[in-house]
Structures are given as structure tokens and as C-alpha cells.
Amino acid sequence: MTDTVSSFWGPVTSTTEWCEINYAYSSYIAEFYNTISNMPSILLAFIGLVNAFRQRFEKRFSILHITNMILSIGSMLFHATLQNVQQQSDETPMVWEMLLYIYILYSPDWHYRSTMPTFLFLYGAAFAIAHSQFHFDIGFKVHYVILCLLCIPRMYKYYIHTNDASAKRLAKFYVLTLFAASICWLCDRLFCKEISRWYFNPQGHALWHVFMGFNSYLANTFLMFCRAQQLGWAPKVGYFMGHLPYVKIQKPKSQ
Ligand SMILES: [Zn+2]
């Protein structure tokens, strides 16, 4: 939402804007709620990273959690400034994250070990350069949705091959948070005019960030569980502080 108040970052140059009044609380933060709502994602990714590190999961999971943190920090920068360069620091890691998911989901069945990571790495780098030059708008969204769709069949395969009830619950909450997040995103996008007339703006885009933070955490936890199962590490779902699920493993002595 455009508004004419003093702003530290200058006029809005991003191609997308959200249903929050700009610079309402500070001249340094364009969209206050959309900025601070990334904090839960950073914290969750940090918890995931510590868990992956402590139990010596494969590096791919540490990279995945770090990418989640970069993504959330990029998103904070974008919503705080509403500048085109920062928009890319939000969007480009979104694509990198999906490429990592593709790697984690498909690499166990891939015969040529180094071709897939090399290809995905080059693809990620080429995308970053192309996006910085051409500022894809609708093209970015379509490309992102295609990457997401590529992950779904394999995610579903993992789901039906998992017998553990707690792990299945992770996957169910994953779908639930994705659904809730999408509804919030869409309402913020489609009904902004109506919402702006309300006494109170529910901040749909900020809620999307919060739900997506949990969504990514659940996805990563579920994938860690499935991978640990593939490697014979006897995974179990534990609950941090009684509520937040995480994967506990027991590696065989020889590893
Ligand atoms: Zn956002």
C-alpha cells in the first residue's frame, strides 16, 4: 500500500506490494508487521540447524536450514525497504530452497552422484543472475510454482511409505500450515481494498510468513525423518519443550 510519509529508503521500487500501510511505525521499516513476522522462521530454522548439527545429519540438512534463515532475512530486508534489489534477496533464495528440496527428494534414486548437485547448483546460480538482470515478475511466480509441483509426487511417495504415526502427523501439519498460509496470502492479495476499510487489518501477509515458517520447519523435519529411515538410523519424533517436534536418531555403532 502506498502512502506518502517520510521514508528512509526512498520511493518503493519493488514490483509487488502488500496490504500494509507503509512506514506506519518507523521511517526505517516500510512494512512493520511483514518485517517482524519473519522472526519465528529464523528461530525455527536455527533450532532445526542446531538439531541437524548436534546429531550429525548429512550436510544437506544444515544447508537447508541455513537457506531457510537466509530466505527469512532476505524477506525481512525486502519488507523493510520495498526496494527491487531486496525483493531479489527474498525471491532468489526461495528458488534455491526449492532446488535443495528437489535434491533431497530425488537424489537417493539418482544413479550418477555428482551430475544432479552440479546441475542444480549451476541452475541456481544462473537463475540468480538472470533474475537480477530481468526482474521476472509473473515469470518468477510461475517458475516457483512449477518447482513446488515437482516436489509434491515424491513427498507423497515418502508419506505413504512412512509407517510412523508421529512422522505422518508432521506431514499432515505440513499440509495444514501450507493451506492456512495460502488462504492468508490470497486474502491479503485479493481483498486488500475491503480489509483497508476495516478498523483492524489482520495482516494476512505477516500471517503467511508465520505459517510458512512452521511449514518449512515441518517439511525439513519430515524429510530428516525419512532420510534417517533410509540410512537405518532408527529415527523417532521427539518434542522440544513438549510441543515442537524434532527428529531423534540412533546411528548404528559402525557409523
Ligand atoms: Zn513476504
CA dihedral over 86, 24, 187, 42, signed as positive or negative: positive
Mean pLDDT score, 22-49:
93
Ligand 1 center from residue 130 Cα (angstroms) = 21
Which pLDDT does position 3 carry in this prediction? Answer: 47
For residue 191, give the DSSP letter. S
Ligand 1 center from residue 25 Cα (angstroms) = 18
Check: pTM over 0.85? Answer yes or no.
Answer: yes
Ligand 1 center from residue 221 Cα (angstroms) = 23
Ligand 1 center from residue 45 Cα (angstroms) = 17
Residues in the annotated binding site for Zn(2+)? 79, 205, 209
Ligand 1 center from residue 224 Cα (angstroms) = 26
Task: Write the single-letter amino acid at 63.
Answer: I
Ligand 1 center from residue 2 Cα (angstroms) = 16
- The pLDDT-based confidence of 63 (bands split at 50, 70, 90) is very high
Ligand 1 center from residue 170 Cα (angstroms) = 24
Ligand 1 center from residue 75 Cα (angstroms) = 6
pLDDT score of 1 more than 90: no
Ligand 1 center from residue 1 Cα (angstroms) = 14
User: Measuring CA to CA, which residue among 131, 45, 149, 133 is closest to residue 91?
Assistant: 131
pLDDT score of 5 more than 90: no
Cα–Cα distance measured from residue 169 to residue 159, given in angstroms and rounded to the nearest whole number: 10
Which pLDDT does position 199 carry in this prediction? Answer: 86
Ligand 1 center from residue 137 Cα (angstroms) = 14
- The pLDDT-based confidence of 253 (bands split at 50, 70, 90) is confident
pLDDT score of 122 more than 60: yes
Ligand 1 center from residue 90 Cα (angstroms) = 8
Higher pLDDT, 41 or 199: 41
pLDDT digits (tens, 9 = 90+) for 137-181: 888 889 999 999 999 899 999 999 999 999 999 999 999 999 999
Q: Domains for the chain: give ranges and CATH numbers.
A: 32-248 (1.20.1070.10)
Ligand 1 center from residue 28 Cα (angstroms) = 17
Residues in the annotated binding site for Ca(2+)? 18, 20, 22, 31
For residue 136, give the DSSP letter. -
Higher pLDDT, 19 or 249: 249
User: Are 59 and 231 spatial neighbours (Cβ–Cβ below 8 Å)?
Assistant: no
pLDDT digits (tens, 9 = 90+) for 70-116: 999 999 999 999 887 788 888 898 999 999 999 999 988 877 778 88
Which pLDDT does position 24 carry in this prediction? Answer: 83
Taking the CA atoms of the chain, what radius of gyration do you get in angstroms?
A: 19
Residues in the annotated binding site? 18, 20, 22, 31, 79, 205, 209
- How far is CA 210 from each of CA 51, 59, 122, 213, rounded to the nearest angstrom? 21, 26, 31, 5
pLDDT digits (tens, 9 = 90+) for 223-243: 999 999 999 999 999 999 999
Higher pLDDT, 41 or 21: 41
